[in-house]
Amino acid sequence: MFKTIKADLAIIRERDPAARGLLEILLCYPGFQALSLHRISHRLWKYHLPLLPRLLSQFTRTLTGIEIHPGARIGKGVFIDHGMGVVIGETTEIGNRCLLYQGVTLGGTGKETGKRHPTLAENVVIGAGAKVLGAIKVGANTRIGAGSVVVRDVEENSTVVGIPGRIVHQSGVKINPLAHSALPDAEANVIRNLMERIDQLENQVSSLQMALENMKEGRISQNILSGKAQNLKDKEIIEFIGDDSLNNNH
């Protein structure tokens, strides 16, 4: 347990430039306090002690504003930054070196029993206010943008943005986990793609109208614009709307 706490301290000093010393982290970082108390309540939970783990969890919620069910399994070197409003459900599993910002919810859906909360692999970053719901798996080195709502499995080395969360791959690109401004704007890319295509189609229609007028007057037009047909499986569009959306339309 002490090795785990040591790893939690180390990740804070690594990822938070505002952390100026060990005593400051111990006294002023609610995320660290919540995780430390959770590790105690989780051990009591594994011993099947009645009520006490939940009471400790409730005390932690009152003290820090972070609600972690005693049954949640949390790895080493996890950092909950600021943390107010973070909710972590009973069957949640969080891998090593994950980073959660304020307002994150790792919740369940429905009233089913058994595994009903998310599983995060190592090095997952979840932005402020994001919701990850259900018994889904989020692959290693994945980033989930602030305010996103994720309800489906996510492959490793992915970036997820939007409501519902859409996967935008960035394979081979090393990204600072704190650089939230580097998140891609999937909606803007798709809109730009479609606007360019609309502009090209308008030019083609105008050219065809001119060609018809020339034919009526007995002239042959030499400048009929043509362009490559747009395919809904263009990379940016399919990543935005997903394979399921296309398949359901057929």
Return the domain boundaries, the chain: 2-182, 186-248
Residue 82, sorted as left (phi over 0), alpha (psi -120 to 50) or beta, turns out to be left
Tell me which residue of 141, 161, 136, 167 sits closest to 149, measured CA to CA.
Answer: 161
Q: What are 120's strand-pairing partners?
A: 94, 138
Q: What is the pLDDT of residue 172?
A: 47
Burial class of residue 114 (count of CB atoms within 10 Å of its CB; 0-12, 13-18, 19+): exposed
The pLDDT score that the predictor gives to residue 246 is 45
Tokens 């105008």, residue?
Answer: 206
Quick one: pLDDT at residue 89?
92
pLDDT under 50: residue ranges of the chain: 172, 245-246, 250
Ramachandran region, residue 85 (left: φ > 0; alpha: ψ -120 to 50; beta: rest):
left
**Is the whole model's pTM more than 0.75, yes or no?**
no
pLDDT of residue 59: 95
The answer for residues whose C-beta is within 8 angstroms of residue 230's C-beta and 6 or more apart is 197
Is CATH 1.10.3720.10 the right assignment for the domain spanning 2-182?
no
